[in-house]
Amino acid sequence: MEGYPNLLVPLALWGWIPFVLMLFMVLPPRRAVIAAFLSAWMFLPVYGYDVPFLPAYTKMSATCMGVLLGMLVADRDKALWQFRFHWLDLPMLGWCISPFFSSITNGLGPYDGLTGILARAIDWGLPYFIARVYFNKPQHVRELAIGLFIGGLVYVPLCLWEVRMSPQLHKQFYGYYQHVFVQTLRGGGFRPMVFMNHGLMVGMFMASSTVIATWLWFSKTLRQFWMMPMWLIVLVMAGTTVLCKSTGATALMLFGIMMLFACHLLRGAWPVLAVVVVIPLYLGARTIVQWDGAQLVGVAQSVFGEDRASSLKYRLDAEVLISGRTLQQPLFGWGGWNRSRIFLAEDSDEDRNTRVTTDSLWIIAFGQNGFLGLASLTAMLLLPTFLVFRHCPPARFAASVGGSLIVLAMVCLLYMLDCLVNAMVNPIFLLALGACVSMLAERRHATAPSAAAGATGKLEARTSP
């Protein structure tokens, strides 16, 4: 980050906890949760304050602490103590505790391991846990889907402004660029960052919101919004996503929409289930078999051009190097402190600072936490998607409430696909993930009184208002 933050940075970050508490006082708790996470990620500064013996205080930790306090103060009896652990929570648990085993096996000590658990619990576990608590009924899932759509719609004018004027909003409000400005130059124009960490994160956020908006419109959950027809809003959001100049995000947006329509037209979920199965096979080929992915580079070159293909090849080559090193510590990886990274040269001190870039979340997880971390991350994001599409009847895919659950499960799949090439941690996707797991966890409880529902083994009982 360039420069030094102005006074708005500490005011916004340290004032966020009382602001979230105020949200719980003036809004229904569930809507307060949605508003807190969305507004924090969309508008708070990208900055962190060092806190002794704790992870950095960022907009993520400020929001999580504010929401937890709001739950304890304003909604203690109705929400917090109603959480019930389910076996589907095991992948998230494994993902959060894997840094401890990595630290112990690499001689980094229990303190380093516990710090790693705390940091991952704040970034991943708490947003997921909060979603598990609050979004466990069909109408709750519908509220969350609509909230995520509104967040994307609110970002449309901000993205368009930065596409035209260059990414300046974060600097104008908070006094510094949140990332290297040169990375916003793309295709003869600008890639917006708004108030997020990177333009890639904005692109993925807009792509996911557009997929949600498309299915809310098609399922007739929303016919119009702010006196505008939904079809027009969908077109505007899709166009904005394209203008964000993130090739991967645009491709994932189109892929998600096509997969939803394919499942609807074919009256079956097998297209999505096939993709879910292919992803672990791909990761196995990249790690165990050490496949170099040259065929993917050829496809990228023919579809997206030489520039994008070169970028993909660089990432794939780096992943081969890092996965090869991680196979020396396959179960728990190398832990933190860049121990899994590979230096390009060792001839001088300057060369020692040049490391192979790790762009993908999956290779970071594998390098730091080995197969335990990679398996936990993959199961965490894919298993709920697989089960939702497997058990929700195809007739409910385009129904009002069932469609909300289906599109949130699709968003989780798109995020996993993005993690194959990028490493953008975003609590918005964790809210969708927690909602899917909650609906699956409630399924057995909801169908138990009814022998007929129990015999079908479907989510029908949970997809009616």
Copy the structure tokens of residue 396.
């409910």
* Alpha-carbon distances, residue 325 vs 291, 322, 421, 432 (angstroms): 14, 5, 19, 34
Q: Does the pLDDT at position 319 exceed 50?
A: yes
Lowest mean pLDDT among 52-61, 277-286, 331-340, 447-456: 447-456
Copy the structure tokens of residue 342.
């590979």
Give start and end residues of each alpha helix (H) in 90-218.
90-105, 110-120, 126-134, 138-165, 169-174, 199-218
Transcribe 423-436 into DSSP letters: ----HHHHHHHHHH
Q: Does the pLDDT at position 79 exceed 70?
A: no
Beta strand ranges found along 327-373 (DSSP E): none
Q: What is the pLDDT of residues 256-287, one digit of tens each?
A: 999 999 999 988 899 999 999 999 999 999 99
For residue 369, give the 3-state DSSP assignment: helix
Please identify which residue in the block is written with the tokens 């069909």. 138
pLDDT at 449: 38
Q: Which residues pair with 225 in a beta bridge?
A: 228
Q: How far apart are CA 197 and CA 45, in angstroms?
A: 9
What predicted TM-score, i.e. pTM, was given to this entire model?
A: 0.89
Q: CA torsion sign, 293 to 433 to 124 to 197?
A: positive
Mention every residue, 6+ apart, whose C-beta is less than 8 A from residue 138.
401, 402, 404, 405, 439, 462, 463, 464, 465
Q: Which of 140, 39, 27 is nearest to 82 (CA)?
A: 140
Answer whether 462's CB lies under 8 Å from 446's CB: yes
Q: Which residues pair with 186 in a beta bridge?
A: 189
pLDDT at 447: 42
Q: Which of 328, 338, 326 is nearest to 373 (CA)?
A: 326
Q: What is the pLDDT of residues 132-142, one digit of tens each?
A: 999 989 999 99
Tell me the average pLDDT of the chain.
86
Band (pLDDT 50/70/90 cuts) for residue 455 is very low
Copy the structure tokens of residue 7.
């006074």
